[in-house]
Chains A and B, each alone.
Chain A
């Protein structure tokens, strides 16, 4: 415990271990890569079991319709088709509905009414992939189309029809919940007293994570052993196991948690989209239970884009109050959150709008009030992340856009205005007006570094020259504060399960290590970075440490990987478990060296007697002794487990600067340069952190310029394939320029913070601010993302700007 206290939060800017050991700060090449570069990864569609059947899904062409009948007779005549399952069949087992992670209810299959286009209507089980698809084509469904609501504001009107009558007569409207944070009265009076007020409506559209691997599973019910093995694409396998056990219990099925094994294998990208429980998973389980055979379900891309959970869809009205000199005094935000037909968000229970109230951002002011209302529409369930920790992207976009509008309104340079409003380094820990306690930060240093890297002053001069010539160039800044690492158990749970996380370490007699973690990799590189944490703490070389995850029969219980929580929570558990092993190692070393524990010091992977460095025992020698020569009265072996409940979240931050050029003739935005300075505390693997930032930036860039899932008035999805939902390719994606500052988290055992989502959170407002900056002199105050050529061209056309 002494070690833990002294080492917590220490600054580690240079590696403390040798390259051969490969502890923190070394760019260790990834241990998982050899299988991936050979095509030997094992993704869900690579899992095939003997006797396996295939499941494919009949989906609704309508966004809202009554199912008059389902005729499966022709489908059942298709060669290879074994069964067709409908909502009425499931209803017999009380399985037609299931709970969402947000505590709402969601249909597995509809009994009588479909609620969005591409909703699951029936499942076909067949002997092959192709036969199942043939069966789907042969199922005849007779629908009676119903009126459709796609606009959440219309959904809230008093005469709107009720989308979810299943909620009972007490909830005869489409309002899901109201959530608020901050002090309304104090904010109102501060706003009334503000010398300058700026307000804006900002829409953050629906987007989809579109991991290159879609979702899928192989459900394997063994009726003899009463064992369910579910191979699946899940970011949270333990939570899935518990939910399955609860759902099965509710349905009276003999599937108990000790006999449920969830295995994730390799996952081809997650980004939040593989947190929810989709109907396809449950259908495969039900089909395996009915047939006694393994059943495989693999989504195709259009199903993935049209039916899986979406992100964002926040209609934000924000108002910022300030002095004439530009000192921010107050922020008031009212938001309508479109959740589709059910709230399937994966937010912690107490936070239906996630951590959206981190919206006061990097700025020091006293008064803020935020309210959010969740609304139903005829769209697929929305509200999961898109590489974003619980609505932080929406919050950062709003505050960073508002700060920029304020700067432009009062004629102050946006960088200068930020510098004058930043929370200062000496103010940490900093309590925000919405109740968060930021752990550490140095915002001016990060922004100054970004300004220096990009050559800000020269760019502003160039912009003036270009503007004089009629060229459209803009510079945008975003100085974001992230909030990751859910979370302290007093505030954070999902369906009641506290958001701790875990690590179990076993040191074998030959000095080799097996560690299992409660989180999950979808590409982050946990097999490498978690080995580095153990190498740092215990001195075993990374090569001698094997990390396992994603098998609920072996890994300790954890809440999984999303919201950048792996390093803040499971990473901490790993460090603490390693320190428990070190504490026991000290006792064994004292026994071996015939010295007092207090006379031993720990350096470079060995305990030595103070003042006699030649009298020492390496961690490998100690490991052997733990099984061959342990002290009397001590348990043999060398293992430890830790379930870590963080005392606080961690607050990574950064400053990004984007330079854009806009084509006057086409409205096309070209990102000329993008500098990203990130601070995620102490860094475990610089190469992997840079990779996370590159990827995060690209997933911030994508919705800024390209991606949007929109619907027509009939609820037709207008971006249901990659032909219309535009992921950036290598051609459009900028050559990212990255920089770092290091401000350790004071409460995290290794001083680390999360990093996977910082760039996705921070990048969009930098790009949007740059585009508005290029157009401000034309009278443009705001343009909602995505900043498509059509949208910009229409603005230029309206303003009389032509090529």
Chain B
């Protein structure tokens, strides 16, 4: 099968690959780039375990072709922490027991980061609606909502220097 050369930025680093046009973005990340933090939970874009940010927008990477990400900037769960310093959302999910098996967690955190970038002060219902495309089977969502509330509050705090910086789009 023919391949196509692509170049994209993943968590701030330019990555290149020769891929089949049919390769899904999630398989590019997991199988080609060996970044397995992004998960696959369904075939139908319902579960959101594969959620990443593409140019800052929430995207289900199981429903996007790798070639469609050519020239764009992708952020995954692996890009959330700054070395040893957890992102406010990661810390909040830990603090609030917002995860159990952890399988939906990367997608949930990426979706929440998208939500808070657009709505820094969401109500409980806005949080619930904001993560409606991400299924969790373990937690019953109560503590996920609390975690996102905690992170929202911390990211709004004046002292916070933790504002997520989007990487530059690769040309």
Chain A interfacial positions (CB closer than 8 Å to B): 29-30, 32-43, 45-46, 48, 79, 129-130, 209-214, 266-271, 300-302, 522-525, 687-688, 690-691, 694-699, 721-723, 727, 729-731, 733, 735-736
Contacts and interface: CB of A to CB of B under 8 A. Distances in A.
B57 interface: no
A730 B132 contact: yes
Nearest to B109: A37
B95 A39 contact: no
Nearest to B34: A48
Interface string B115-143: 00000000011011101111111111111
Given A130-B23, A301-B44, A691-B100, A39 B131 contact: no
Contacts of B94: 29-30, 33-34, 37
B132 A729 contact: yes
A48 B103 CA distance: 18
B38 interface: yes
Nearest to B95: A29
B117 to A, nearest CB: 18
A213 B43 contact: no
Interface of B: 1, 20, 22-23, 27, 30-31, 34-44, 46-47, 49, 76-78, 80-81, 86, 90-91, 93-95, 97, 99-106, 109, 124-125, 127-129, 131-145
A694 B143 contact: yes
B97 A722 contact: no
Given A38-B81, A40-B37, A268-B103, A722 B140 contact: no
Nearest to B42: A301
B97 to A, nearest CB: 5
Given A38-B37, A213-B41, A721-B42, A735 B142 contact: yes
Nearest to A726: B46
B105 A37 contact: yes
A48 B78 CA distance: 19
Given A38-B90, A129-B31, A723-B46, A33 B102 contact: yes
Given A38-B77, A301-B42, A730 B138 contact: no
Nearest to A733: B141
Contact of B99 (A33, A40, A270): A33
Contacts of A697: 140
A209 B138 CA distance: 11
Contacts of B101: 211-213, 266-270, 522-523
Nearest to A45: B40
A586 B35 CA distance: 49
28 contacts: A36-B102, A37-B94, A39-B37, A39-B77, A212-B39, A212-B103, A266-B102, A268-B102, A269-B100, A269-B138, A301-B44, A688-B97, A690-B97, A691-B100, A691-B143, A694-B143, A695-B100, A695-B140, A697-B140, A722-B42, A722-B47, A727-B46, A730-B127, A730-B131, A730-B141, A731-B128, A735-B145, A736-B142
Residue picked from A38, A43, A129, most chain B C-beta under 10 Å: A38
Given A79-B1, A722-B47, A730-B144, A39 B78 contact: yes
A733 B97 contact: no
B141 A129 contact: no
Contacts of A302: 43
Given A130-B22, A269-B137, A695-B139, A36 B44 contact: no
Residue picked from B38, B42, B81, B137, most chain A C-beta under 10 Å: B137
A670 B120 CA distance: 29
Contacts of B80: 38
Top 3 closest pairs, chain A to chain B, by CB: A39-B37, A523-B101, A268-B103
A695 B38 contact: no
Contacts of A269: 100-101, 103, 137-138
The interface residues of chain A, by DSSP majority, are classed as: loop
Given A41-B102, A523-B100, A723-B44, A212 B137 contact: yes
A523 B102 contact: yes
A699 B124 CA distance: 21
A346 to B, nearest CB: 19
A733 B140 contact: yes
B142 A37 contact: no
Given A37-B109, A269-B100, 19 more contacts: A30-B97, A32-B102, A36-B105, A37-B86, A38-B90, A39-B78, A130-B20, A212-B47, A212-B49, A213-B41, A213-B103, A214-B41, A691-B139, A697-B140, A698-B137, A699-B137, A721-B44, A723-B44, A727-B46
Contacts of A267: 101
A301 B99 CA distance: 21
Given A212-B103, A269-B138, A722 B46 contact: yes
A688 B99 CA distance: 10
Nearest to A298: B40
A781 B36 CA distance: 51
A349 B109 CA distance: 43
A699 B140 CA distance: 8
Contacts of A721: 42-44, 46
A40 B143 CA distance: 21
Contacts of A735: 124, 142, 145
A301 B138 CA distance: 17
A235 to B, nearest CB: 12
Contacts of B134: 729-730
A691 B43 contact: no
Nearest to A128: B31
A41 B77 CA distance: 12
B140 A694 contact: yes
Contacts of B131: 729-730
Contacts of B35: 39
Contacts of B140: 691, 694-698, 733, 736
Residue picked from A39, A48, A129, A209, most chain B C-beta under 10 Å: A39
B88 to A, nearest CB: 11
Contacts of A48: 31, 34
A192 B134 CA distance: 53
A266 B36 CA distance: 13
